[in-house]
Amino acid sequence: MTLGTDNVAASAARSPSSERVHDEFMALTPAAREQREEKLRRILRDDGTTHHAGAIAERSSRAWDLDLLPAVIDAERWAPIEAGLVERAELFNLILADLYGERTLLRDGVLPPEALLIHPGFLRPCDGVRHPGTQQLFLQAVDLLERSDGVYVAAADQTQVPRGIGYALENRTVLSRVVPKIFRRANVLRLSPFFASLRQTLQNLAPELDEPHVVLLSPGPTDATYFEHAFLANYLGLPLVQSGDIVVRDGDVWMKALDGLSRIDVILRQVRDWACDPLELQSDSFLGVPGLLHAARQGRVLLANPIGAGALENPALQRYLPAIGRHFLGREPALESIPTYWCGEADDLALVTGQLEQLVVLPIDHRRDEAPVLYPATMTADERDALRARITHRPEAFAAQRLPDRAGCRQLADDPGAGAQAITRTFCVATGSSFAVLPGGLSRRVPGSERPLDPERWSNRDTWVVSAKPLVPTASPFLDRQGRFKLVDRTPLPSRVVENLFWMGRYAERAESALRLLRTLFLTLNGPDPMPRDVRDALLLAVTRVTGTRPGFEGDGALLEDPDEELLAVVLDARRSGSVRANLAALLAAADDTKELLSSDMLRVLNDIEDANEALGAALTGGLASAPEEALDPLVTALLALAGLTQESMIRGVGWRFMELGRRLERSLQLLALCRSLLIRPLPDGHEEEALQALFLTLEMLITYRRRYRGRVELPQGFELLLIDRSNPRSLLFQLEALQGHLDELPRVGVDTRELQPEQRAALDAITTLRISPLVTLGETDADGTRVELAQLLERLRDRILTIGTVVSERYFEHREGPQLLVPTVWEGE
């Protein structure tokens, strides 16, 4: 049986290799298969593999949907496909160079001008922009369909931002873990040589440089395939940058790093053509970098793919590929395209309007990156007539394709998707003189065959190209020619990433301290001994102040009477700044922006935080009636795991330092807010002891305190533990000294002095002030019943810590002014 037929009678054609793989999958018991599918889903979730709204902070993102069963193809059948793909990529490379160069295709009448010029992917500002050497095209994705005669044909090409390459790698990684034995025995051709080529070619794009600085440019976490960008950046060891991290200056392209500008030589681009440069591409979007196209024009930076490569996605090109092949290569390409018509040709127009319902219609003159596909077969007769009229009115604006009537990847007998069509997307990467093809790719099953090109409806499979013979092991792409590990961590981090790590630390700490205080409150509210009203009120006020959810309990006295609703809001209301949910959302968003730096354990913990955050709503639906503190525990644990991983698994680089800085800064501020709320005006009648107990419980100091001082909670012993005990990782002094340590290690560019910098001075001042304050004096109250000395101390410390935060953020983080266009954007269409 060949790929694409699920008829058992055809199994004679099935070769032993794919047969064997098939049998092995069939040999799995339903339970074993279920268990593996479960494992597969778990791994995908842990890796944060998502598509669409991509961001882990947003639940609207769709988990990547991978089938346990791969599509399998024999190496002997793959070889001619591979050769065809190489030829196609070489041809597309020639076309690209021609379209933005001499345009012999138009001049010599191979391609009607309208067929090229009407397509929005042909960007006139890119005219004359060339990479040195003959290779212009770096990466091409080709979607293959299998015809009923078993021949693979190309349906479409992606050249602006070929998508799916990271997912293909992820699919393979996951599947090889889930079914390791089957995978090992199947002799599946490895993907890693392809990625090694990809990395090598990126390095070689700037031939005059020994170690060109290569980055991956992404639109950011809002992009549907951001997962893939982070995954690729991580795998290839490239800094993941966004447009705001890049600036064009003096003709060169620079990354804004913490210690200044760092020159970029090569950009692996994941931003679509039109969005790359708002100056020249008339974009109203600011995903791009002003001046980037001119830098490419001047040869100061190399973009892979070059801007303008989207012209190759024009479906009308496929209509002329045989002629183009004859023009450039003297022969028609071996890999056929599916039959494609361009209505600018009179014959094609007649055929398309005559057989509309058998075709899919591809408007060429669409806006920027819409590229709609119309399915006349699914239309009413009236809709078809209307479409026919549109086509006849402007024929040059329409292409059409005839899909093979049966297409499918290998169907297993008990496969619920049997009968579905399938498309295999594979990739070609430039190798210097030619192209290398990914042996495999994404096979996507399309349930039902009505709208087969609609990616929304695809589920996906890994594609295994299997060899009859065992494979020779290949070197890891992380090893260079001498077999040594390459240093990939020498490139500086964009300052945006560092800033996000700083905020990750801060938000994590904010969420944690709010949770801790709330947990204490819930415990004591429902405890065996009723809490005195004044203690309870003091704790509620502390909640408002520590979380910064003013007015809260400070405002409305009625809330103090019946605090449940407000307490729930402080946990659950994500729209309320300072709430637990809002802090967690901000934490996850900041994590998204640093995703390529986070280890897989870290991503898993972030997933746990997200899940616990999700679960919170359900756990608290009954209000605070029954053990609400239990609902908070999983989140506290997950946040502690994050803190633990930060300590145990993060390289002590600048990123770690900023994350820790953020955490210490925030913990100091929270501690000060707690002390201010509970200690400045001591409660009468021994109620202060209860307040202190609550404070110590919140800070996980209660056990230590009881053991150490054996008895009543009293000041100034309490102050000692809370404020100046170096052995207590939650004491104020501990935070301040940690802060000081991090500040001393920050990179200082252009500072050539032993003099302390303002933030160091502030830290030293805070530490000294704290240490020279006699604890007894701090405990004294004035006639008013206020601990004046303590209040002054806390105020001064707060001021110094805020100074540190301001100075650090002003010195190290960029304060972006948004770009604007001098001339209003020219509208397109009316």
Partner 1 sequence: MNYRITHETVYRYADDVARCFNRAYLLPRHTDRQQCLDARVHVSPTPPSIDEYQDYFANRVTQFAIHQRHRELSITAESNVVMREPNLSASLDIGLTCAEVLSRLRSDRDAATLAAREFLLPSPMIRPRDEFGAYAAPCFAPDRPFLAACRDFSEKIFEEFRYDPGFTTVATPVRAVLEHRRGVCQDFAHLAIACLRALGYAARYVSGYLETLPPPGKEKLIGADATHAWFSVYSPGEGWTEFDPTNNKPAGLQHIVTAEGRDYSDVTPVSGVIFGGGDSHQLDVAVTVARTSGAPIETRRRS
Three-state DSSP at 514 gives helix
Both tokens of 92, joined, read 């597309």
Least Å from the CB of residue 309 to partner 1: 16
Pairing of strands 266-269, 302-304: parallel
- Whose Cβ is closer to partner 1: residue 58's or residue 114's? 114
At residue 27, the 3 state secondary structure works out as coil
Minimum distance, C-beta of residue 240 to partner 1, in the bound complex (Å): 23
CB of 365 to partner 1, least distance (A): 7
Nearer to partner 1, 231 or 274 (CB): 274
Minimum distance from residue 392 beta carbon to partner 1 (Å): 14
CB-nearer residue toward partner 1: 483 or 829: 829
Range list of H helices, 153-225: 165-178, 180-185, 192-204
What's the closest the beta carbon of residue 251 comes to partner 1, in angstroms? 7
Cα 397 to Cα 387: distance, rounded to the nearest angstrom: 12
Instruction: Report in angstroms how near the CB of residue 361 gets to partner 1 at its nearest.
Output: 19
Contact 569, 624 (CB under 8 A): no
Nearer to partner 1, 326 or 367 (CB): 367
Pick the closer one to partner 1 by CB: 248 or 349.
Answer: 248
Least Å from the CB of residue 642 to partner 1: 35
Residue type, 357: E
Residue located via tokens 């078993």: 150
Specify the DSSP class assigned to residue 750: T
Of 289, 292, 114, 172, whose CA–CA distance to 219 is shortest?
A: 289
Report which of 94, 4, 653, 559 is spatially closest to residue 326, judged by C-alpha positions. Answer: 94
Which burial class, exposed, middle or buried, applies to 761 when counting CB atoms under 10 A from its CB (0-12, 13-18, 19+)?
A: middle
| Cα–Cα distance measured from residue 695 to residue 693, given in angstroms and rounded to the nearest whole number | 5
Which two three-digit tokens encode residue 684? 């009468």
How long a stretch of residues is the chain? Answer: 830
CB closer to partner 1 out of 228 and 280? 280
Q: Which is nearer to partner 1, 252 or 601 (CB)?
A: 252
455, 164 contact by CB (below 8 A): no
* Nearest-approach distance from CB 366 to partner 1, in angstroms: 12
**Closest to partner 1 by CB, 33 or 368:** 368
CB of 435 to partner 1, least distance (A): 28
Query: Rounded to the nearest whole angstrom, what is the least distance from the CB of residue 828 to partner 1 in the complex?
Result: 5
CB of 259 to partner 1, least distance (A): 19
Residues lying near partner 1 in the complex (CB under 8 A): 106-107, 109, 113-114, 117-118, 124-125, 127-128, 247-251, 278-280, 282, 290-291, 294, 297-298, 365, 394, 396, 816-824, 826-830
Q: Are 762 and 801 in contact (CB under 8 A)?
A: yes
Burial of 558 (0-12, 13-18, 19+ CB in 10 A): exposed
Cis before 729 (ω within 30): no
Buried b (16+ CB within 10 A) or exposed e, 429-461: bbbeeebbbbbbbbbbbbeeeebbbebeebbbb
Between residues 109 and 180, which has the closer beta carbon with respect to partner 1?
109
Decide: 308 and 122 in contact? Cβ < 8 Å: yes
Shortest approach of partner 1 to residue 821 CB, angstroms? 6
Phi-psi region of 442 (alpha: psi -120 to 50; beta: other; left: phi over 0): beta
Q: Considering the complex, what minimum distance in angstroms separates the CB of residue 106 from partner 1?
A: 6
| Residue 242 or 547 with smaller CB distance to partner 1 | 242
Under 8 Å between Cβ of 392 and 407? no
Q: Are 55 and 589 in contact (CB under 8 A)?
A: yes
**735-736-741-745 Cα dihedral, nearest 10 degrees:** 100
Residue 576 tokens, joined: 């309320």
Q: How far apart are CA 446 and CA 450, in angstroms?
A: 9
What one-letter code names the amino acid at 183?
F
Residue 347, CA atoms < 13 Å, CB-side half-sphere: 3
C-alpha span between 264 and 255 (Å, rounded): 7
Minimum distance from residue 397 beta carbon to partner 1 (Å): 9
What are the structure tokens assigned to 624, written together?
Answer: 């605070």
Q: How far apart are CA 107 and CA 87, in angstroms?
A: 24
Q: Give least dist CB 346 to partner 1, A.
A: 10
